[in-house]
Amino acid sequence: MTRVLVLQQPSSAAAVDDWLAAADADVEVLLVTGPGARRAGTERGARVRVVTLDAYEGAAATAQVRAVAREWRPNRVVSNSEKDVLRAATIRSELGLPGTPARLAVEFRDKVRMKALFERAGLPTARWARVQCVDDVLAALEAMGPFVLKPRGGVGSQGVHVLAGPDDVWRLLTTAPQVLDEVHADALMVEELVDGTVLHVDAVLDDADVLLAVPSRYLHPPHTFASHDVASVCLDPGSAAHTAAVAATRALACGLPAGHGVAVVHLELHLLPNGTVLAGEVAARLGGGMIKGTLAHAYGVDLSRESYLLAAGLRGASQLVERPNPPHQVLAGHMLWTSRRPHVTRDALPAWAHGFWAADGDGPHVAAHSADAAGGVIVEGENEAALVDRITRVG
């Protein structure tokens, strides 16, 4: 009997329990979520039980989830949220369950320990350094020039600062004094500011096999979300950049330990002017924002569903296990209005625009992170250049 503990962020609308039940009618599901869950009130199958925590975040919630797991004794623990990676891995390690253990999961969450993942995969990275006092910050600035100061455990490009000189450092510590406390707590790191294009690859893994890897490029670096809307487009298949990005993803998969249990990754790379790539960051989850919808539109495959089935041990129901690396049906890209509100309406959009949405409100939009948007849209086109042109036209 397969018993799957699902950790689902309240903001998630993914029908995980339905996917699992469709794959195996005998599977038992215990879904843990929190207040205000988007799927609250959804009709569930007879083998699905829902536990709603008083609060989903925090140490008390983690302790409660662990207690639930110890009592219910699942065979698998699954999630597709950055914030649940370590929580789920801790339960696996505690109960001796298959899947990603805590010692590996932390390398997908801590950007310093993450460098070990890239080293094992043979992937070069930009220069970086740990910083624990202001002199470390200034020394790194002198050694590598302009750099990015960012949280070791950050998500969504939150708390990222680009510093080009000592004056920038002192100005930041004056306007945001909490940053100094974070430096002293070893909670931040610095990384060389790379002159190149930021790529992202969203891939489904089956141990060392890459079942699908989709490389895309951001039109602007995601940490600039407050001043530039976040947009990305699929790379032209067969292009040098596409080939390099897929090769880096395969190297990463081969560098993971056997039986690693990582079913999906969101890998960010820096494409240098000479065509080589540097590894930036990697997460053990699908990309956020509208990436999931964009890739489903392009390939006809729900990568989120695929990753849940693999993580739950139901690989026989996986569309990608049966037919790995399917060709795209159409190239696609998307735009998130993070720096302002959309100036277009659904009715005014052309036929190549899909999935448009706009948040309520008419005041200025102030994004807190790179997926905090006032609206979004998916575009399709015959090649990368057409996608860029169409995003520019709707943006």
Structure-token pair, residue 357: 């949405």
Model pTM score:
0.95
Max distance between CA atoms of the chain, in angstroms, equals 63
Mean pLDDT (whole number) for 91-115: 96
pLDDT of residue 340: 95
Residue identified by tokens 């470390």 is: 136
Pick the CATH number of 128-192 from 1.10.260.40, 3.30.1490.20, 3.20.20.70, 1.10.3720.10: 3.30.1490.20
Four-CA torsion 229, 234, 239, 241, nearest 10 degrees? 50
pLDDT of residue 154: 83
pLDDT of residue 124: 97
Q: Is 324 buried (19+), middle (13-18) or exposed (0-12) by CB count in 10 A?
A: middle
Q: What is the pLDDT of residues 67-96, one digit of tens each?
A: 999 999 999 999 988 889 999 999 999 999
- C-alpha distance from residue 186 to each of 151, 163, 189 (Å): 9, 18, 8
Whether 128-192 and 3-98 are alike in CATH topology: the answer is no
Mean pLDDT (whole number) for 118-140: 97
User: Does the pLDDT at position 212 exceed 80?
Assistant: yes
Q: What is the pLDDT of residues 155-192, one digit of tens each?
A: 877 889 999 999 999 999 999 999 999 999 999 999 99
Structure-token pair, residue 64: 């409660």
User: Does the pLDDT at position 354 exceed 90?
Assistant: yes
Q: What is the pLDDT of residues 302-341, one digit of tens each?
A: 999 999 999 999 999 999 999 999 999 999 999 999 999 9
* 3-98 fold: Rossmann fold (3.40.50)
pLDDT of residue 42: 84
pLDDT of residue 40: 86
Residue identified by tokens 């990463």 is: 252
* 197-394 fold: D-amino Acid Aminotransferase; Chain A, domain 1 (3.30.470)
User: Does the pLDDT at position 1 exceed 90?
Assistant: no
Q: Whole-number mean pLDDT of the chain?
A: 95
For 367, list phi and psi in degrees, rounded to 5.
-80, 140
pLDDT of residue 240: 97
Cα distance between residue 50 and residue 115, in whole Å: 37
Cα distance between residue 40 and residue 36, in whole Å: 7
- List the one residue out of 160, 166, 228 whose CA is nearest residue 189: 160
Sequence ranges of the domains in the chain: 3-98, 128-192, 197-394
- C-alpha distance from residue 86 to each of 72, 90, 107, 110, 186 (Å): 19, 6, 10, 10, 19
CA 293 to chain centre: 13
Cβ atoms of residues 373 and 337 within 8 Å: yes
- List the one residue out of 71, 73, 61 whose CA is nearest residue 28: 73
Q: What is the pLDDT of residues 260-298, one digit of tens each?
A: 999 999 999 999 999 999 999 999 999 989 999 999 999
Mean pLDDT (whole number) for 136-141: 96
Cβ atoms of residues 321 and 206 within 8 Å: yes
User: Does the pLDDT at position 115 exceed 90?
Assistant: yes
